[in-house]
Amino acid sequence: MRVFLFGVDGLTYRVLHPMMERGLLPNFQRLRDEGVEGILKSTTPPVTPPAWTSIATGLSPSKHGIYDFWEYEQSENGPIPHVMTHRKGGKAIWNVLSDWGKRVVIANVPMTYPPEPVNGIMLSGLMAPEMQANVTYPTALKEELLAEVPKYHIDINPAVSCGQRGDVFVDVLEMTRHRNAMLRLLLKKPWDFFFFVYTGADRIQHLRWDEIMAFHPMAVEYYQMVDEGLGMVLDELGPEDMLMVVSDHGFQGASRKFYLQEYLYRNGWLQMQGSNRTRAQLFGMVRAIARSLNIQKPARQIYRRLRHKQIEALANENHPAILPKIDWAKSRAWVQSTSGELAGYADIFFHDSVTEEEIEELTKALKDLRDPLNDQPLVIEAHREDAFGNGPFAPAQRHLVILSGENTSIYTQLGRISLWETRGNGHDVSTGIHHPDGIVYLYGAGVKKGTTIAPTHIYQVVPTILTAMGVPLPEDLDGKPMEEPFEKQLTAGAGTGGSELVKQKLKKLAARSS
């Protein structure tokens, strides 16, 4: 059996279903009618780097070492961030399948830079520098791909995805047009396993959520382009092939904001560095005064200038971390990364001196917090570091990861006047944030038709595909194969494929040892 894994970053039924009901996405509709549909639960936290890496490996973050866009080295002067572009350990599905002699095509999967030697080809995805870098295996493949699709891009300009300039719809449509051309080209290559990822959905959903929900024509055009890509894949499938469509996390609109770092400051958990408190407070004051005098424009310009500096940094090095300006020696709990602001969570780090009782106290206090506007709890899920699994890259520090309630994002800026705010004042650009419920479709050989399945987990993608392909499972996987989508129970290594695979494996081992 061949398997195609079709990934779309941030894809959610909240967008798909209304568009399908209007008949706009015929190929997704076909999967719904002739395959199975379900929710795919994301990693903790539900953010792109760990989520795609767990989809690719079947391993928890403690085994692949990816928790965020950065990892933090501890030093006396506070944490030093290092941007991550590749998992630190664990085999990806393409390594396992390559070992078994299967041909793989891996393209645009996030966190695959530098590209790895595989039995087939790899084109790096998100977090790779653009096409000027060495982003393909084999290296010479890049010239061949660019000759056919010269305008192929791995991602859109960071300034556009931050909402600072341009129109995200325009850039994402342009990128996706070339991505579909790349898919068409790569589909001519031989493959047993094909893994291809679209990333534009996440980009437009962060900035233009409300317009997407209102069927903005350019939004419809985007999802139709992805649907067209899906159609290309469906056309390629034979009766023995299976297709799986996944997203790394879901999405939701978010109009309410909670300032968690400010909350930690006010409750004595963190101290700010020297004069920063006054400076941060001053900006809060400027905003409040501007609002009361109804002269928001100058305040907006101050913010724009501040943010522009951030964009310059982004342009220099695609993903710089913005660390909070806190007194690291005196702080006991803090949020280190801004990733959760757009991803619906906060990852709270604790100083070694904090007791377990104190962490429990904070957890309870946060769980008790309610939005004064609608009485909705701030926290829908709270996890300790064991949610990252057990492995060689388990974090040395203690963590509390909270997921925010519906329609609420958790911000890290300090010096706010109010802990709760409604989006829409001044510098806000984000209208959509992640949700832990992603999507999954299965379709093709052995798969039930027109069925909805119970929620499954991202860790189950790899074991399901390997089992369907008759490849024995590596021992350290964190999930079990899905059973509900299939008409008959799958058995690993069984059937005609099994003995053939064992022969291939033996042949390969013999070739290596000779």
- Cβ distance 505 to 100 under 8 Å? yes
Q: Compare residues 110 and 463 and give the one whose CB is closer to Zn ion.
A: 110
- Cβ distance 422 to 241 under 8 Å? no
- DSSP designation for 386: G
Options 121-129, 198-206, 208-216, 401-409: segment touching Zn ion (CB under 5 A): 198-206
Least spacing, CB of residue 32 vs Zn ion, in Å: 24
Residue 21 is encoded by which pair of tokens?
């009901």
Least spacing, CB of residue 13 vs Zn ion, in Å: 17
3-state secondary structure 95-140: HHHHHCCCCEEEEEECCECCCCCCCEEEEECCCCCCCCCCCEECCC
Least spacing, CB of residue 9 vs Zn ion, in Å: 7
Interacting residues of 399 by C-beta distance below 8 A, sequence separation 6+: 347, 348, 349, 350, 384, 385, 388
Options 199-207, 254-262, 294-302, 354-362: segment touching Zn ion (CB under 5 A): 199-207
Q: Compare residues 9 and 262 and give the one whose CB is closer to Zn ion.
A: 9
Least spacing, CB of residue 123 vs Zn ion, in Å: 21
Q: Compare residues 13 and 193 and give the one whose CB is closer to Zn ion.
A: 13
Build a one-symbol-per-residue string for 306-345: x at contacts with Zn ion by CB under 5 A, - elsewhere.
----------------------------------------
Closest residue by beta carbon to Zn ion: 202
Q: Compare residues 68 and 202 and give the one whose CB is closer to Zn ion.
A: 202
Least spacing, CB of residue 41 vs Zn ion, in Å: 17
Q: Compare residues 37 and 155 and give the one whose CB is closer to Zn ion.
A: 155
Least spacing, CB of residue 380 vs Zn ion, in Å: 18
Site residue total, Zn ion (CB under 5 A): 1
37 forms part of the interface with Zn ion (CB under 5 A) = no
Q: Compare residues 202 and 478 and give the one whose CB is closer to Zn ion.
A: 202
Interacting residues of 107 by C-beta distance below 8 A, sequence separation 6+: 121, 122, 123, 125, 182, 183, 186, 195, 196, 197
Burial class (CB in 10 A: 0-12, 13-18, 19+), 305: exposed
CA 465, CA 482: separation in Å to the nearest integer? 9
CA 89, CA 73: separation in Å to the nearest integer? 18
- DSSP designation for 477: -
CA 347, CA 67: separation in Å to the nearest integer? 10
Give the residue from 45, 130, 127 showing the smallest Cα distance to 83: 127
Options 75-83, 202-210, 307-315, 391-399: segment touching Zn ion (CB under 5 A): 202-210
Options 195-203, 239-247, 436-444, 485-493: segment touching Zn ion (CB under 5 A): 195-203
Q: Exactly one of 71, 155, 192, 202 binds Zn ion (CB under 5 A); which one?
A: 202
Site for Zn ion, rule CB under 5 A:
202
